[in-house]
Structure formats: C-alpha cells, structure tokens
Amino acid sequence: MTAKIISGNKIAEEMRAEMKIEIEQLKSKHNLVPGLAVVLVGENPASVVYVRNKKKSCEEIGINSYEHKLPADTSEEKLLALVDKLNADDSVHGILVQLPLPKQIDENKVLNKIIPTKDVDGFHPFNVGRMLVGDPIFLPCTPHGVQQMLIRSGVKVEGSHVVIVGRSNIVGKPVAAILVQKAKGADATVTICHSRTKNLPAVTQLGDILIAAIGVPEFVKADMVREGAVVIDVGVNRVEDKTNPKGFKLVGDVDFEAVKAKASAISPVPGGVGPMTITMLLHNTIRAAKLKHNIA
Ligand code: BQF
C-alpha cells in the first residue's frame, strides 16, 4: 500500500478562506475586528519563526495582531504585568504567550494569569477543565487541528482505536481528551503511550489511527504501525542539513518514507499538523471576539 497524503496545508487553506469571509461579516455587520496579542520573550530561533507565522496568518485573514517582544532576561513580574494589561485591553480578544519561556519564569503562573475568556491557546486550567468535561470554550490549537484534519479528510474517528505516542499537556493529553469525548468527530477508544510504555510497538500496532507527538525525530518506524492505519505526525523537529541554506530541515516524529508504504493515509512534515495549529489559533481568536460581543 502507499498512503494517501493528508495535506494540512490544503485543509488549513480551506478553513482560512471560510474564516476570512466570516471576519468580513463581523466587520460590516458588527464593526468588529478580532485582535490577537502575541507575546514573545527572548529570541529562541524556532519561537521567532512561530510568532512571525502567527502574525502573518492573522493579517492575511483580517485579524489585528499586536506583537510584544520582551528581552530574554525579562522578570516574571514584568511579564505578569503585561498579561494583566492585555487582559484589560478591549481591542485584544485573544492573548498568546509563546512557549517555551526562559527558565526564570514559571510558565504555569503566566498561563494562570491569562483571563480564561482570552485564552486562545486553551492552556488555562479553567479551559482544560471545560475541555475535559466536554463543554469547551477554547480547545488547544494543535489537538483541535488534529481532530479537524481527521474529520475533513474523511477519516472515521467514531469507534476507532486511536493510539497516541506522547503525553504532553500541549498535545498528547488534550488530544486524548478531545477524541475520547462522546461527540461527533470523536467517540474513539483512546490509548496514550509514552517513554515508559512496555512493548511499545505492540501497543502502537493496535491503532487504527496513530498520533505521533513524542518530540523525537523519526521515532515511529514501520514496524510500529498497523497495515492500513491512518498516521498523524505532530512532530516539528529541526535536524541538521548541510545541503539546506538554513543549515537544518524539519522532520516529524514519523519515519515518513517507511511508514508511507504501510499506512492508508499519513500527514507530512512540513505542511501537515503545523499549518492546522495556526488555523485553529485564528479560529479561537474569532471565537473570543464573538464571545465578548455576544455574537452567535
Ligand atoms: C509546517 C511548536 C514545538 C514547541 C512549540 C507550520 C508551524 C510549524 C510547522 C508553527 C509549534 C509547531 C508552534 C509548519 C507553531 C507548529 O508547515 O509544517 C507552522 O508555526 N507551529 C508553536 O507556536 O510552538 C511550538 C512546536
């Protein structure tokens, strides 16, 4: 078998075209332009690229973006004060603090400071709880993007066995919470495995749908994948590539060439989950603006 490619680029483009029209209507009917504040502390090269990506994507569909760049040695107190200011700013509907933060800053303290109604990353414990009980306000962008990719590429999630490799708060745990929910595009049987899982290939082989989110380049090999499985690669890893002018290339958590020969469908890196993550951030920002103005 050779797998169908699930293009995140293509699905993201479709969704952004829909959102662009929705934003034009918000502007003409309600005089409302959604606004996103993006906060970057320090100059981690990958983070700089992600923030630029997010700003550019906002502008392309008509969302205002406000960038706040702080030096790497910013104190926790200073950052918390900025979040408070953004919490009170009426033109800011969504607040995104780019992770990871420098080590002098307690990430959880900062995420807890963002008012839950502007928490477009969905990382505040209030929103995590709402997600877990199946009554979400904002779903976290990468897990929600993975679900949308599955739905929009015609993969039947209901009743399927989803195996997730990785248990982070950003991807593994929330994607499990979303796909196990009694709901359309969910209703899966979910298994989470990780670095301490015994006989990992035997467990990942059980997946009708296999989601790789472990953060190790090309970790998932063909022998870990069931014949005909759907494979979603969440990994975004920079690996050295001297033939590339940038000196690196992006690879996922899946050995793409080998697994492609065994899967029925597979998402690539780049151009897979990454663009969907950004798309769901735009979706959440529009949602935040509508919530504030009581627009259905
Ligand atoms: C693509 C992220 C790890 C840690 C913190 C498009 C992105 C990436 C790849 C992107 C990511 C990864 C983001 C592609 C945002 C996804 O074409 O394949 C977009 O910008 N991402 C982030 O903000 O923080 C991270 C990964």
Q: State what percent of residues in the chain have pLDDT above 90.
A: 100
Sign of CA dihedral 177, 281, 85, 35: negative
- Name the residue of 10, 44, 273, 277 to mutate for ligand 1: max ligand atoms within 8 A of Cβ: 277
At 29 the pLDDT is 98
Q: Which residues contact 13 (CB under 8 A, 6 or more apart)?
A: none
Mean pLDDT of 109-113: 98
Cis before 136 (ω within 30): no
Contact 215, 254 (CB under 8 A): no
At 68 the pLDDT is 98
Band (80; pLDDT cuts 50, 70, 90): very high
Contact 260, 2 (CB under 8 A): yes
At 203 the pLDDT is 98
Is 98 known to be catalytic?
A: yes
Task: State the closest ligand 1 atom to the C-alpha of 100, by its place in the atom list counted from 1.
Answer: 5
Mean pLDDT of 31-36: 98
pLDDT in tens, 129-182: 999 999 999 999 999 999 999 999 999 999 999 999 999 999 999 999 999 999
- Of 121, 233, 253, 255, catalytic: 121
Q: How many degrees, rounded to 5, is the angle at CA 61 between CA 110 and CA 101?
A: 20
Contact 267, 12 (CB under 8 A): no
pLDDT at 128 over 90: yes
Mean pLDDT of 60-72: 98
Task: State the closest ligand 1 atom to the C-alpha of 49, by its place in the atom list counted from 1.
Answer: 20
Is 242 known to be catalytic?
A: no
Is 223 known to be catalytic?
A: no
Band (7; pLDDT cuts 50, 70, 90): very high
Domain boundaries, the chain: 31-115, 141-274
| The domain defined by 141-274 carries CATH number 3.40.50.150 | no
CA–centroid distance, residue 122 to ligand 1 (Å): 16
List ligand 1's pocket residues with C-beta within 6 A: 50, 53, 99, 236, 269-272, 274-275, 277-278
- Of 54, 113, 118, 260, catalytic: 54
CA–centroid distance, residue 236 to ligand 1 (Å): 7
If you ran DSSP here, which 8-state letter would residue 220 be given?
B
CA–centroid distance, residue 289 to ligand 1 (Å): 24
pLDDT in tens, 255-289: 999 999 999 999 999 999 999 999 999 999 999 99
Name which residue sits closest to atom 5 of ligand 1, judged by CA. Answer: 99
Residue 154 burial by Cβ neighbours in a 10 Å radius (0-12, 13-18, 19+): exposed
Residue 230 pairs in a beta bridge with 209, 265
CA–centroid distance, residue 248 to ligand 1 (Å): 15
- Name the residue of 41, 48, 50, 52 to mutate for ligand 1: max ligand atoms within 8 A of Cβ: 50
CA–centroid distance, residue 274 to ligand 1 (Å): 5
Is the fold of 31-115 the same as that of 141-274?
yes
Tell the residue number behind the tokens 């039947």, with chain if given: 156
Instruction: Give CA–CA dist 220/233, Å, rounded.
Output: 9
Band (1; pLDDT cuts 50, 70, 90): confident
Per CATH, which fold does 31-115 belong to? Rossmann fold (3.40.50)
At 167 the pLDDT is 98
pLDDT at 124 over 90: yes
- Of 98, 147, 148, 181, catalytic: 98
- Helix (H), strand (E) counts: the chain: 10, 11
CA–centroid distance, residue 155 to ligand 1 (Å): 23
